[in-house]
Amino acid sequence: MSVRPTRRASWLALAVFVAAVGACTVPRPGPTMNEIFAGSVLREGDAFVVAVGDRVNRAANVTPALGFSDALRNAALMGGDTVRVGDTVTVTVYENVPEGLMTNFETRGAVLQELQVDDAGFIFVPFAGRIRAAGQSPEGLRSTIARQLDEQTPDPQVYVSRTAGDGASVSVVGRVNAQGVYPIERGTRRLTAMLAQAGGLSVPVQSAQVTVSRGSVTDRVWLEDLFRHPELDIALRGGDRLLVDQDQRKFTVLGATGAQSLITFESPTITAIEALAQVGGLDPTRADPTGVFVFRNEPAEIARNVLGRTDLIGDQRLIYVLNLTAPNGMFMARDFQIRDGDTLYVTEASAVTWNRLISSLSGTLSATGSAVSIATGSD
C-alpha cells in the first residue's frame, strides 16, 4: 500500500493553509493603538501624540471667539421719531382765517399726504418751500413749517406725522421665520427686537449665530451671548444687513462606538464625553476605554503651548490620547473640548481583534480540512 499520494495531499493542504493565513487580512474598523503610536514623530510618523491632562486641557481648549467690534458696539441708539431720507411725512395745516392759503371756510384743515423725504433730506410744502426734514423730529419739523407759514398766514396750526421708509431699514435673511426688509422704528431699534420682528429663529437657539454687516464691517456673535451680554444687543443703522445661520462646525466619530457619524455642533462648545454620548457611547462589546484618540490639525501657536516648544512653524498634526480608565480619566475627557474638523476615534480591545483573528483562522482551517479530504479521496 503506497502512502505517497496521501503525503502529497497533506503537503498540498498545508501549502493552501499557509498561503491563506499569509494573505488573511482581518476586518476591523480602523488602526490599532500600536499602529497609532507608530505614527508618532518619535517613531516613524509625523504626528505628535499627547496624553491629555490638566495642563494639556488648559492649553488646547480654545473656544471660537465671536463678538462685535467697537465700530458696531459704540453706535448710539437712533431716535425713534427722527425723520430720515426715504421716510414719508403727512402735514396737516389749520388756518385761523376764513380764506387761507390752503384752506377755506368749509375746509379749515389742509392735509398734505405722503410727502417723501428726498435724497438730500428735504420735503416741499406749498407756500413754505423746500424744508430740510431729515434729522428732525416730527415736533421739530412741525415748528419749522409753522414758522415758514406764519409769514404768510396768521398763527397757522401745523400737525406732522412720520411713516418710516426705506431710508432707515435693515434686511434680515437666513434662518428666521419671516425674511425681509424692515424699517427701524421705535420698538425695533436694537438687534434682538429686529430679530423678533422678523418672526424669530427657525434654528435652535444654542447653535444660532447672527452676522451683522454695516458698510465694510462684518462681525458675528452667538445668539445666546446677546442675552448674556446686553452690550452686544447693538443699536441698528439704516442699511444694516442681518444674517441668521446655524453653526456649521462639524466633527467625525469613528471606531468602536455606538455609531459612526459626522456630527454638527449643537452648542458653542462640546466635550469629548458629550461627543461620545451623541453616538451612543463606547461599544461595550468592542471598545478599549484606554484608547480614545482625537486627531487634529493644531495651529502653531496652540501646538507650541501644548508641547512646550518654540520651534514649531505652521499647523501641526496632534493626536490627543484619552484613557478613560485612569483615576482622573473621565474628568479629563469631560474637560477636553472637541473642535471643528476633529476626528474622534475609539480603538478596539485587543481581545476583540484576537477573537476575530481566531474566527478567521477557524474558517481557514475548515477550508484546509476540506481540501485534505478532497485530496485524500481523489487518491
Which amino acid appears at position 296 of this protein? R
At the topology level, CATH places domain 88-163 in wza like fold (3.30.1950)
User: What are φ and ψ of residue 209, in 5° steps?
Assistant: -125, 145
**Residue bearing cell 475627557:** 333
Which pLDDT score is estimated for 11?
53
User: What are φ and ψ of residue 375, in 5° steps?
Assistant: -65, -40
CA distance 379 to 377: 5
What is the torsion angle, in degrees rounded to the nearest 10, for the CA atoms of residue 205, residue 206, residue 207 and residue 213? Answer: 60
Cβ atoms < 10 Å from Cβ of 129: 9
Instruction: List the chain pLDDT tens, one digit each, 379 residues.
Output: 444 555 555 555 555 555 544 445 566 778 889 899 998 888 878 899 999 999 999 999 988 778 999 889 888 777 667 888 888 889 999 887 777 777 766 677 788 888 888 888 899 998 889 999 988 888 999 999 999 988 888 888 899 988 776 667 899 999 999 999 998 888 888 999 999 999 999 999 989 999 999 989 999 999 999 999 999 999 998 889 999 999 999 999 999 998 889 999 988 899 999 999 999 999 988 899 999 999 999 999 999 999 999 999 999 999 999 999 999 999 999 999 999 999 999 998 877 665 665 665 555 545 545 544 555 555 4
Q: What are the residue ranges of CATH 3.10.560.10 in the chain?
A: 33-64+249-349, 70-78+169-246
- 72 CB burial (10 A radius; 0-12, 13-18, 19+): buried
Alpha helices, DSSP H, located in 1-75: 4-23, 33-37, 54-60, 70-73
Angle at 307 between CA 304 and CA 309, to 5 degrees: 55
User: Which one, of 225, 169, 158, 153, lies nearest residue 192 by Cα?
Assistant: 225
Cβ-Cβ contacts under 8 Å for 320 (sequence gap 6 or more): 50, 51, 52, 56, 60, 293, 294, 296, 336
Tell me whether strands 316-322 and 48-51 are parallel, antiparallel or unpaired.
parallel
Which pLDDT score is estimated for 360?
55
CA distance 293 to 322: 6
DSSP 75: P
User: What are φ and ψ of residue 163, in 5° steps?
Assistant: -120, 125
CATH, range 33-64+249-349 = 3.10.560.10
Which pLDDT score is estimated for 87?
84
**Residue bearing cell 493565513:** 21
- Mention the CATH class of domain 70-78+169-246: alpha beta
CA distance 235 to 255: 49
Please, are residues 224 and 315 in contact by the beta-carbon 8 Å criterion?
A: no
**Residue bearing cell 441668521:** 244
Which pLDDT score is estimated for 3?
45
Q: What are the residue ranges of CATH 3.30.1950.10 in the chain?
A: 88-163
- The string of DSSP letters for 165-234 reads -GGGEEEEEESBSS-EEEE--GGG-BHHHHHHHTT-BSS-GGGEEEEEEETTEEEEEEHHHHHH-GGGSP
Q: What is the pTM of this model?
A: 0.68
